[in-house]
């Protein structure tokens, strides 16, 4: 299951390239750029997780299939399919460029944050052995920069693609929001002196706002 995801991601890249060369008509290059950003993020996450013990549960396969389904929905050229290809906003080049830029920034923030966490990262809401309270890099600006990066990339993809199918990314944003309080509860209990002070000094998800 772990090796299947990067293989599927690369297969989607090949399919998009073939269709781009074979089919005539206007292409949304901002969407293609945003897809490339998500491909980089997926491959980077898969590479770093290669030595991480997988978390198996009765829902693991279902969650894996859902994540793959999401990726296929926004990364394949499905604009001609009813409902999925329905436009949310008119084709505005400036808005598409802005969305693609947001996607790139979000991916950059997520990768930077993941590198800063290093061995402290965990795929589930739990502390790893020898866990440390990281307060450097992006964690000096907001307390959950990985989630911020993913959410920013999701909004960027929605704007760059501009079609109904991109809204599937809002599901992941909801999952991230639900994980905020459990993570903070664990950290608050583990670092009763350090974490409350960190909370007072650094915002949760939006720099200087919230």
Q: How far apart are CA 154 and CA 157, in angstroms?
A: 5
pLDDT at 147: 93
Whole-number average pLDDT of the chain? 85
Structure tokens at 11: 């297969």
pLDDT at 34: 95
pLDDT above 80: residue 40: yes
Are the C-beta atoms of 128 and 119 separated by less than 8 Å? yes
Is the four-CA dihedral 136, 141, 142, 145 of positive or negative sign?
negative
Residue 204's nearest CA partner among 146, 152, 121 is: 146
Q: Return the CATH number of the domain spanning residue range 4-201.
A: 1.20.120.1630
Predicted TM-score of the model (pTM): 0.88
Are the C-beta atoms of 195 and 188 separated by less than 8 Å? yes
Q: How far apart are CA 143 and CA 59, in angstroms?
A: 28
Most confident of 15-29, 57-71, 167-181: 167-181
Most confident of 59-63, 100-104, 120-124, 195-199: 100-104
pLDDT above 80: residue 60: no
pLDDT at 125: 56
Q: How far apart are CA 37 and CA 71, in angstroms?
A: 12
What is the mean pLDDT of the segment spanning 33-46?
91
206 vs 32, 139, 145, 148, CA distance in Å? 27, 12, 9, 8
Interhelix angle 194-201/169-190, rounded to 10 degrees, is: 130
The domain limits of the chain are 4-201
Range with the poorest average pLDDT among 10-19, 47-56, 60-69, 122-131: 122-131
pLDDT above 70: residue 8: yes
How large a percentage of the chain has pLDDT more than 70? 86
pLDDT tens digits for range 142-192: 999 999 999 999 999 999 999 999 999 988 888 888 888 888 998 888 888
pLDDT above 70: residue 56: no
Residue 5's nearest CA partner among 78, 64, 59 is: 64
Q: Where residue 47 falls among pLDDT bands split at 50, 70, 90?
A: confident
pLDDT tens digits for range 69-118: 888 899 998 888 999 999 998 889 999 999 999 999 999 999 999 999 87
Residue 196's nearest CA partner among 184, 206, 207 is: 184
Q: What are the start-end ranges of the H helices in the chain?
A: 4-22, 29-48, 60-75, 93-117, 145-161, 169-190, 194-201
Q: How far apart are the first and last CA of the chain?
A: 37
- 90 CB-near residues (< 8 Å, 6+ apart): 162
pLDDT above 80: residue 1: no
């Amino acid at each position: 299951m772990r090796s299947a995801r990067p293989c599927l991601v690369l297969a989607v890249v090949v399919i998009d390239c073939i269709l781009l060369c074979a089919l005539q008509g206007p292409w949304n290059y901002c969407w293609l750029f945003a897809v490339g950003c998500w491909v980089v993020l997926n491959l980077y996450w898969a590479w770093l997780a290669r030595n991480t013990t997988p978390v198996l549960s009765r829902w693991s396969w279902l969650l894996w299939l859902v994540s793959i389904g999401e990726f296929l929905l926004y990364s394949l050229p499905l604009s001609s399919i009813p409902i999925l290809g329905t436009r949310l906003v008119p084709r505005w080049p400036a808005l598409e460029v802005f969305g693609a830029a947001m996607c790139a920034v979000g991916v950059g923030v997520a990768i930077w944050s993941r590198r800063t966490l290093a061995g402290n990262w965990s795929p589930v809401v739990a502390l790893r052995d020898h866990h440390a309270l990281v307060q450097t890099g992006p964690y000096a600006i907001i307390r959950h920069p990985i989630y911020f990066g993913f959410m920013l990339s999701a909004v960027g993809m929605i704007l760059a693609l501009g079609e109904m199918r991109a809204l599937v990314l809002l599901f992941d944003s909801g999952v991230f929001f639900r994980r905020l309080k459990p993570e903070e509860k664990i950290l608050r209990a583990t670092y009763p002196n350090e974490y409350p002070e960190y909370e007072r000094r650094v915002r949760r998800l939006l720099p200087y706002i919230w």
